[in-house]
């Protein structure tokens, strides 16, 4: 899941971003409305965590700009003003959800994930392909009923591959969806993560690689009986 955190308080922005990254999300950060608008034009995000009182372009204006876009991005508005009137005005601007500061971080995570599920065109709650099943809500993954113990990035890569199945995802696609704007395009982190994920999924292999194309989930080939 690709998330943009727009918050002018730099320390809070980094705390929120690192916390969401620990949950397996790819997170970029903008510290004012102008920077956020530029990143929204350059990258496809699923959810924007948007501070309301921003320099450059005010959060209210940016929220309207986001909701007028053709590619629907879900907006979770954050603000220190948490009265019922403030919540109503924020939702009237087009925000999909509203959370007052200070907030409990686990609630923020749940709201971000809920918005991603509500996004138009979002896939089914439980993703399945071959004999692999992944539940983004419960954060569980299994193969043939066997629960898998995955790191945050392994889980996110598997979720991306299952969401795209039966299509291929290139290493560049995975870098964009699972990591963030600071990811080195020349790194081997995708290859390493795929290798670890393959080991945990076990045999027969379900992640196939086509050189020059990318990775995808396929039905495992059962070897013939002797």
pLDDT in tens, 12-43: 999 999 999 888 888 999 999 999 999 999 88
The model's confidence at residue 6, banded by pLDDT at 50, 70 and 90, is: very high
Q: State how far Cα 147 lies from the chain centre.
A: 22
pLDDT of residue 223: 44
CATH 3.40.50.2300 domain extents, the chain: 2-118
CATH 1.10.10.10 domain extents, the chain: 127-217
Question: Which of these ranges, 45-54, 89-98, 153-162, 206-215, has the smallest mean pLDDT?
Answer: 89-98
Question: Which of these ranges, 36-45, 127-136, 176-185, has the smallest mean pLDDT?
Answer: 176-185
User: Within 13 Å and on the Cβ side, how many CA atoms surround 198?
Assistant: 17
Beta bridge partners of 143: 132, 146
| 171 Cβ neighbours under 8 A, 6+ residues apart | 190, 191, 214, 215
Q: Which of 181, 180, 157, 182 is nearest to 170 (CA)?
A: 157
CATH number of 2-118: 3.40.50.2300
Output phi, psi for 28, to 5 deg: -110, 160
User: Within 13 Å and on the Cβ side, how many CA atoms surround 94?
Assistant: 16
Beta bridge partners of 90: none
Which one is predicted more confidently, 22 or 184? Answer: 22
Beta bridge partners of 51: 78
Beta bridge partners of 76: 49, 97
pLDDT of residue 225: 45
Q: Which of 93, 169, 158, 98 is nearest to 130 (CA)?
A: 158
- Rounded to 5 degrees, what angle do the CA atoms 131, 135, 136 make? 135
d(CA 7, CA 103): 14
Judged by DSSP in three states, 211 sits in coil
Say which CATH architecture domain 127-217 belongs to. Orthogonal Bundle (1.10)
């Amino acid at each position: 899941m690709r998330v943009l955190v727009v918050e002018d308080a730099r320390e809070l922005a980094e705390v929120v971003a690192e916390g969401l990254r620990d949950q397996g999300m790819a997170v970029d950060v903008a510290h004012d409305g102008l920077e956020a608008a530029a990143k929204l034009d350059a990258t496809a995000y699923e959810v924007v965590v948007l501070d309301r009182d921003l320099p450059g372009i005010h959060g209210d204006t940016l929220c309207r700009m986001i909701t007028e876009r053709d590619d629907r991005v879900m907006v979770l508005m954050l603000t220190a003003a948490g009265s019922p009137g403030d919540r109503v005005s924020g939702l009237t601007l087009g925000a999909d959800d509203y959370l007052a500061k200070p907030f409990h971080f686990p609630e923020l995570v749940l709201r971000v994930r809920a918005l991603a599920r509500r996004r138009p065109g979002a896939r089914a709650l439980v993703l399945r392909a071959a004999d692999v099943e992944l539940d983004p809500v419960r954060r569980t993954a299994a193969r043939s009923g066997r629960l898998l113990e995955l790191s945050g990035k392994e889980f996110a890569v598997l979720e991306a591959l299952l969401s795209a199945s039966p299509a291929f995802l290139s290493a560049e696609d995975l870098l964009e969806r699972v990591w963030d704007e600071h990811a080195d395009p020349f790194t081997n982190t995708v290859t390493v993560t795929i290798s670890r994920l393959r080991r945990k999924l076990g045999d027969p292999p379900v992640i196939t690689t086509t050189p020059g194309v990318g990775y995808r989930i396929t039905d495992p080939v059962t070897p013939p009986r002797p």
